[in-house]
Amino acid sequence: MDLRSYSPDQEWRLETLLAGLPCLVPDQASGNRVERLTTLTSARRLGDLCFLSEPRRLKEILELPLGVSCLLAPELARLTRDRAGNSSPQATLIETKDPKQIWCAIVERILAIKEQQLEHYIADSAIIDSSARLHSPVHIGACSVIAEGVEIGAGSIIDSHCVIEKNVKIGERCRISAKVFIANSIIEDEVWLHQACVIGGQDFGIMRDTQNIPYNFPQLGGVRIGRGSQIFMASSIGGGTLDDTIIGEHVRIGCQSIIAHNCQIGDYSILSSRAALSGSTRIGQYVTAGACIGTGQGVVIKDRVAVGGLCSFWPNVTLHEGVQLMNGSTVKHDLRGEGKIFFGNPAIPLREELHRRKKIDRLLQEQQNKPNKNSA
């Protein structure tokens, strides 16, 4: 990453960008892990920024030119010291437990600094109701529509061709990418809605009357998205029926996902692309789910559960705290056990499933080895 391309006149200093970040390295005296920053060279400015964590990249580190800054894992930093000896590498080398995490945090800070320099701008083709409240500075892109009673916080960016329906509240420093539709929603600070998302639209709440004719169930609720969350491209979050659909703080929802009415997703949870959550699904905090999971109505997934991709859930089942579910499993009944791994259709403990498969393989092998009476 070339930091100079973001602001040629900006002097990026380590003290500013790394202040407060968890750079965990061993304390040389006690051997304990402490929170501090160790710099292997005397340079204090960041130029090109990269990160390395694999020992096989050692030669690349020693050859990095002046003006490059590199985040290193502790083992790689130790090898660099040993190999370099008395000669100091030209690059700025920074030791940290998780180089990738710190690199991402630095990039986010750089982007945040750039957004702080946002100038107030409203495109000539934007349509903004006179009752809308825009807290300067904001950026409103071309052909966007801001309806009556909308409130947009300072530092927020509304890209082109967005539609924000009446009485929507958008917090500070939010990013609403192109072609996003928002209705009946409260968006808290620092939320990023990526391209073509639909938030708070009419959800698929369909019932049947006594003559088996379908009709729409009224949806009077809205959507609440917590601080720092991101909803990626072409995803849909349906408004609630009577209560709101709630997305917690610092949640990540992948591309082309569908979150139905009255779902609740806890803080710091991650759903990969093409998740499909049926109505009233409840997901706890720190849950991680792979791509293409599908839940029946009323499913409960509690805190710290890990779900592999392509998993499916029958209605009203519960995954209790700390359960781990392997790829492609189908959950037909409640699962419990902190750290316990489940797999299969239906999902059962992994050891039992592997034993069952071995038994089936043995029976098939025995069947194949039996002499064929017809051939005799």
Q: Supply the residues annotated as catalytic.
A: 261
Backbone angles phi, psi at 318, to 5 degrees: -130, 130
What residues does 223 pair with on adjacent strands?
A: 185, 245
Q: Whole-angstrom Cα distance, residue 276 to residue 260?
A: 8
What residues does 288 pair with on adjacent strands?
A: 270, 306
Query: Could you check whether the bond before residue 137 is cis, i.e. omega within 30 degrees of 0?
Result: yes
What residues does 236 pair with on adjacent strands?
A: 198, 258
Q: Whole-angstrom Cα distance, residue 312 to residue 335?
A: 13
Instruction: Provide the token pair at 95.
Output: 């030791």
Rg (CA), the chain: 27
Residue pair 114/130 in contact (Cβ under 8 Å)? The answer is no
Q: How far is CA 259 from CA 8, 122, 234, 316, in A?
A: 42, 32, 12, 16
Q: Whole-angstrom Cα distance, residue 100 to residue 251?
A: 19
